[in-house]
Amino acid sequence: MTKPIASKQQYKSLMEFYPFYLTEHSHPLNRALHFIGTSLALGFLLGFMSSGSWISLLAALVSGYFFAWIGHLLIQHNRPATFQYPFYSFVSDWMMYGQMLVGRIPKSK
């Protein structure tokens, strides 16, 4: 059974939201699954841009969300923040991805 999103707070900015996002992604395996899904999504998106194949665009969406949701449901045991904060969550995923890519992600608590 998954836990509900821990916060019902209304965030005023992305920078205010991002620490909450990181706590919802505190398990290293959940973060790794997000990284894999985002990497695949980026690859499929580049494939779509070069070929125009709509299947590549669909694969980008599916791969990005599939790995993230597996991480939340099976590893972190919480609901993805996307359901309550879609824009902030989307941008925060890319922020976390970039920080992971360069080895500067804040330590999990």
Q: What are phi and psi of 84, to 5 degrees?
A: -100, -30
pTM for this predicted structure = 0.86
Q: For 15-24, what is each residue's pLDDT tens digit?
A: 999 999 999 9
For residues 65-70, average pLDDT: 96
pLDDT at res. 106: 74
Alpha helices in 14-53 (DSSP H): 14-23, 28-51
pLDDT at res. 108: 62
Phi-psi region of 19 (alpha: psi -120 to 50; beta: other; left: phi over 0): alpha
The C-alpha angle with vertex 46 and arms to 43 and 48, in degrees rounded to 5, equals 110
pLDDT over 60 (residue 7): no
Which two tokens mark 8? 């019902």
pLDDT at res. 3: 52
- Judging by beta carbons within 10 Å of its beta carbon (0-12, 13-18, 19+), is residue 5 exposed, middle or buried? middle
